[in-house]
Structure 1
């Protein structure tokens, strides 16, 4: 039963708070919110619905449903929208900053302390982190497949997207797979029923929303061309991180294979360093997208250290911000359009196919070399999916298990 909220509460639409108030509220959550995106949404509800009463249960549920429909980190987008509704544009920035910076700073410091160490690629702990990545990403892809490909039509679109990604293993191939599955769904799939979601008023005009959507799509198409023409390592890094942030559905865990494919083959970050950072990212509070800050700090090239970490931190969140701002002023009308809902269902299915390919290469191929590796990955997968063991503990067990395998 929903809790009754007194009439005097501040609603999401009221915008009667201050950016500083928003910042301190989200900073506390950024320092204490462990457990991944689903847990974050629980923390947000306890803080902003039950304790602070900035919005009611129905408004919060509607907002969560919308952000889970969009690409990007749902919990961070919910936080940005709450900040926007509470204190306008500065409130949005304050919410993102407070929730994101603690874990980003921790990961950058970890990267800077790790950069000078030698021989880490050969350590059993790193091999264990590679193996646990297989289990974590497999869990995420399986969960996405169940929710986003519940029928034969969408399962077929996922397979088509996977085949296109295998045929064209590049940024262009991924974008093409997304476009094709969206168009085929709009053309051939049965209409997807709308949920019981309601739109709310935000200080975003339709003009601003349109500009944000155009910029989102334009960057997704132009950045790969820039990276290919310039042959610049910086361009490749920025393009790969932006594309990874733009194609994530279902939570931050599935961003790993996209980032891995974007930075490891080019040599910008070694696979060993990437896996170490991914393990560290499991152990810090806040959004897993802050993993990009670690990558920026570890990268080889002009962007590295503090500058690289902060730049990539911003880049990976840009598509999530643009798509959120773009959709908010139109959602009331768009959610009733059967064609839009069906095309997005096809896009979601296409992302599942792309991530399925990335799970195989490079996540699986870089980690599973022996029967023992496969057995450990299977055990870790069981702990996550059947045992419901927290990911941070599973990461620790993976390191211990790999160390024991190295001894015996």
Structure 2
């Protein structure tokens, strides 16, 4: 129970302060769990990020669930998810009830400060991971190639293709290459349970649309729509938006203007972008109480991620220990560095830095984090305060 509470409180703090989108979230996680708490080493963290990049759903939330599982089993995954997700979900449900508007906060100085600090956090993550995961010329070239491809082809399908290509290159040309040894991530789940969870994921994906048509329940219709959106999106983050829009706008559940207003508000809250589903549930015209609909939509969109991560982890340790898999992972991890490098420019840098003063702000924050080793939460609070005063 103490571990469970520890997981919840750590992720609650991250859920309250992690601005900047999924790439920035991975930077926050690395600082918290690799550098500060040493729950796992750099190579194991990179392997975990690589696994979650290949699974449908929000990669940062899936990494959080996996870390929760490693500390406290399935309940740990739920504690990590709840702590990281509920703050932004609550803010967006409040927005759905009319508390504030996106225009009120979209240009606020404190929010600009938090967008700028996200640039420094992602830069620190890229720097640290590059030192470990691209120690030689071939892997540096893979990372740079992945970054170039991601910038030229900014879509989810290209991202999956980049990761597959990096893995194939690693399998073919990085066999026997030196790599930092990765510790075994503790997984308190059996393979039988993992197989059952993966089967349940597939069963729900097939069965929910059938039950929706047969039973005709508005609650079941809502769950089916959001479960399907969470199951079929690769790349996470903004990639889920067209899937959600296709589920709720053409059906008449949510008006187009309300959809865009909620999307604007989502940009101004911390935590995962998938919490946009809570807002959509609250404003949806499905004949359910707003809070119930918000809870169903939020749970349904994250449920596939929970089932996939918890189902895959019991097999992951044995798989990553195989020599061929290690070669693939060397290439994939170099590709992850490249994707993070590309994301450092777009959307993180382009969204946060608009002037020389903003860039000076980034350099100062990076120095505090990387050179002086200030705690990330102190730098985040300082950025918000300075942003409110001077931006």
TM category, shorter: 0.5 to 0.7
Work out the CA distance in 2 between the residues paired with 1:261 and 1:376: 30
**Structure 1 residue 171: Cα displacement:** 0.9
Q: 2:229 aligns with which of 227, 232, 238?
A: 238
1:189–1:387: structure 2 CA closer, same or farther, 3 Å change rule? same
Alpha carbons 2:277, 2:301 under 8 Å: kept: no
1:322–1:200: structure 2 CA closer, same or farther, 3 Å change rule? closer
**Structure 1 residue 336: Cα displacement:** 4.5
**Structure 1 residue 76: Cα displacement:** 3.4
The equivalent of 1:387 in structure 2 is: 372
Work out the CA distance in 2 between the residues paired with 1:162 and 1:129: 25
Secondary structure of the structure 2 residue equivalent to 1:388: coil
Confirm or deny that 1:26 pairs with 2:4.
yes
Alpha carbons 2:230, 2:300 under 8 Å: kept: no
TM-score of the pair, normalised by structure 1 = 0.62
The equivalent of 2:323 in structure 1 is: 338
Work out the CA distance in 1 between the residues paired with 2:3 and 2:161: 41
Which protein is richer in helix relative to its size? 2
Work out the CA distance in 2 between the residues paired with 1:306 and 1:139: 40
TM-score of the pair, normalised by structure 2 = 0.65
Work out the CA distance in 1 between the residues paired with 2:317 and 2:353: 44
Describe how 1:305-384 pairs up with structure 2 within 5 A. 307=293, 311-312=297-298, 315=301, 318-319=304-305, 322-323=308-309, 325-329=311-315, 331-332=317-318, 334-384=319-369
The equivalent of 2:268 in structure 1 is: 276
Q: Which moved more, 1:171-180 or 1:358-367?
A: 358-367
Alpha carbons 1:129, 1:275 under 8 Å: kept: no
The equivalent of 2:277 in structure 1 is: 296
Q: 1:77 aligns with which of 56, 66, 81?
A: 66
Root-mean-square deviation (CA), in Å? 4.4
**Structure 1 residue 99: Cα displacement:** 3.7
The equivalent of 2:383 in structure 1 is: 398
Alpha carbons 2:88, 2:269 under 8 Å: kept: yes
1:312–1:171: structure 2 CA closer, same or farther, 3 Å change rule? farther
- For these two proteins, the number of residue pairs brought into alignment is 319
For structure 1, list consecutive stretches of 5 or more residues without a partner in the other structure: 1-21, 46-59, 85-91, 220-233, 246-258, 282-290
1:261–1:329: structure 2 CA closer, same or farther, 3 Å change rule? closer
For structure 2, list consecutive stretches of 5 or more residues without a partner in the other structure: 15-27, 53-61, 207-224, 246-258
Work out the CA distance in 2 between the residues paired with 1:157 and 1:166: 14
**Structure 1 residue 375: Cα displacement:** 0.8
1:393–1:78: structure 2 CA closer, same or farther, 3 Å change rule? closer
